């Protein structure tokens, strides 16, 4: 994968960029991630089972949506959900 993540400092300020694989192997390169958790009226969370082809946590249960590219995913979610951007 050739995804690039924004690397942030302890205040959340972007201080650079690094490839996904490097960020995931290097704890000294923290990056942002957003998890969207969906709960039904009974209080149950929607989960998805990760593909066995994933390089991190293959085959494990996970939240329905997470992304290091928040602004892009936020726009996509709002589009699908029928929400208008603020």
Structural domain total, the chain: 2
In terms of residue numbers, what domain contains 59?
33-86
The reply to whether 66 and 41 lie within a common domain is yes
The reply to whether 7 and 39 lie within a common domain is no
- pLDDT value at residue 1: 55
The reply to whether 45 and 61 lie within a common domain is yes
Neighbours of 56 (CB within 10 A): 11
The reply to whether 43 and 82 lie within a common domain is yes
**DSSP notation for 31-75:** B--EEE--B-TTSPBPEEEPPTT-SSSTT-EEESEEES-HHHHHH
The reply to whether 63 and 86 lie within a common domain is yes
Average pLDDT, the chain: 79
pLDDT in tens, 16-41: 999 988 988 898 999 887 777 888 89
pTM for this prediction:
0.57
| Average pLDDT rounded to a whole number, residues 65-86 | 56
pLDDT over threshold 50, residue 86: no
């Amino acid at each position: 994968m050739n995804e690039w993540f924004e690397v942030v400092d302890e205040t959340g300020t972007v201080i650079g960029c690094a490839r996904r694989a490097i960020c995931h192997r290097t704890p000294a390169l923290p990056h942002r991630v957003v998890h969207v958790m969906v709960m039904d009226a009974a209080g149950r969370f929607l989960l998805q089972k990760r593909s066995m082809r994933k390089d991190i946590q293959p085959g494990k249960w996970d939240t329905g949506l997470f992304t290091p590219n928040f602004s892009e995913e936020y726009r996509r979610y709002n589009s699908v959900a029928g929400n208008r951007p603020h």
